Amino acid sequence: MRNVRTVLLASMGVLLAALPASSHHSFASEFDDTKVVTFTAVITKVDWVNPHAYFYLESKDQSGQVVTWSMESFPPGLLSKAGLTRNMMKVGDTVTIEAYAAKDGTKTHGWAHKIHLSDGRVILISREPVGPAEGPYK
């Protein structure tokens, strides 16, 4: 019986080791904190999930075409600490977003930095950037 248990445990270990490992990307590998985009948009979806919350928005570009944006952010717990709760961003609300642009040039994806809610509240999600000579953040 002891050998069966050992074989089962070893087999489970091999199977677990074969599962894909999830890795976390660094902010700097995906977003550029020197390129801030600001736009006003309507919220179409909010994914309040770990490891990152996502906000989906629609805005109009200069020619009047609808542009769909996806904004990545911190996990829900950190957003709550920053003052943003699940009930503050509802589908259909109009918000102004300040976001860090994606490094890969994707024009409709970014990291939500500051959110101006329709009721006038401003939620600063991540720290303000400063010049490169002073380091990336205050």
What CATH number is given to the structural domain containing 113? 2.40.50.140
Residue 134 above 50 pLDDT?
no
**Stretch 110-132: mean pLDDT, rounded?**
81
* Per-residue pLDDT at 103: 86
Give the chain's mean pLDDT.
Answer: 79
Is residue 59 assigned to a domain? yes
Tally the domains of the chain.
Answer: 1
What does the pLDDT look like over 1-12, one tens digit per residue? 667 666 556 556
Residue 106 has a CB neighbour count (10 Å cut-off) of 12
Task: Find the domain containing 106 and state its range.
Answer: 27-134
86, 76 contact by CB (below 8 A) = yes
Is residue 17 assigned to a domain? no
* Per-residue pLDDT at 133: 38
What does the pLDDT look like over 51-71, one tens digit per residue? 889 999 999 988 999 999 999
Is residue 66 assigned to a domain? yes
* Per-residue pLDDT at 14: 52
Is residue 71 assigned to a domain? yes
